[in-house]
Structure 1
Amino acid sequence: MLSNDRQQRYRELREQLEELRHQGEGDSLEIATLKTGVDRAQQFLQSQVLPVSISGLNSAEESRTQSYHTELHKQLRLLATDVLFLGSARQASTRQQRQAQIRDRLTTLLRYCDILLEEDSRPAE
């Protein structure tokens, strides 16, 4: 069962990722704005989500939560790289491919947040 503090931080991270997804939609994509949003989400994850103790969970929940934290961190780093590659894309087809990659990565990150938030609705084992 998640603490209210942890749950709130996952919600805030999810909101930031949703905002990024909306920024990444459409043809008038601003790379600088997207990069700033990714940087902010990475900073939030590192300063607000990862340091929060996951003690108090049973060992299976603790292990699962730690795995999702690792994946969130990895996917956010990859998202930052995708944004850099998008900024250097010259051809329209490459840009579209990079934008699709960014959308997929954001969908994955949002799914991880949803899974972590669902942990709270499960009865304690």
Structure 2
Amino acid sequence: MLSKSACEAIAQFQNSLKQFDRKLILVPVDPIGLKQSFQQLKATFETEIMGISDGDFDPPVESPIQSYLTETHKQMRLLEMDFKFLQAARQSATFNNRLIPIQNRLNTLLSYSENILKLGEIKGL
């Protein structure tokens, strides 16, 4: 089971992911708003998700949750690189092609956070 604070942190992270995703699909894309949204997502991740400790969940679910948190950290680093590539795009075709991996990563991150919350509901295995 996850602590209430950890559940709230993951829910806040999910909201930041969804907000960033909404900014990505805006036409025309607002580069400044997109950058601000990404910075907010990154800050939420660093303060909320990285702040989750072993004491925030029960031992039966510790290993799978730690695995998801590790993968979430990896995907966030990769998302940051993808976002830098997106910002460097000068042609609209290149920009649109670079949106695809970002949206895929966002979907992956959302599924990880959903799975963490589901594991957090388990009281004992």
TM-score normalized by the length of structure 2: 0.87
Q: Does 1:52 align with 2:52?
A: yes
In structure 2, what is the Cα distance between the partners aligned to 1:29 and 1:20? 12
2:13 aligns to what SS in structure 1? Answer: helix
1:105 aligns to what SS in structure 2? Answer: helix
* RMSD of equivalent CA atoms: 1.7
Residue number in structure 1 paired with 2:72: 72
Residue number in structure 2 paired with 1:119: 119
In structure 1, what is the Cα distance between the partners aligned to 2:34 and 2:46? 18
Gap runs ≥5 in structure 1: none
Q: Give the share of equivalent positions with the same residue, in percent.
A: 29
Moved over 4 A (4+): none
In structure 2, what is the Cα distance between the partners aligned to 1:65 and 1:31? 34
Letter in 1 for 2:101: Q
CA apart distance, 1:32: 2.7
In structure 2, what is the Cα distance between the partners aligned to 1:35 and 1:22? 13
1:10 aligns to what SS in structure 2? Answer: helix
Q: Does 1:92 align with 2:67?
A: no
Letter in 1 for 2:71: E
CA apart distance, 1:40: 1.9
Residue number in structure 2 paired with 1:25: 25
**Residue pair 2:16, 2:44 contacting (<8 A) in 1 also:** no
Residue deviations 1:21-52 (CA, integer Å, cap 9, x gap)? 11111331123322222222222222222223
2:54 aligns to what SS in structure 1? Answer: coil
**Residue pair 1:10, 1:113 contacting (<8 A) in 2 also:** yes
**Residue pair 2:17, 2:110 contacting (<8 A) in 1 also:** yes
TM-score normalized by the length of structure 1: 0.87
Taking structure 1 as reference, are residues 120 and 77 closer, same or farther at Cα in structure 2, changes over 3 Å only? same
In structure 1, what is the Cα distance between the partners aligned to 2:53 and 2:9? 12
Residue deviations 1:88-120 (CA, integer Å, cap 9, x gap)? 112332111111111111111111111111113
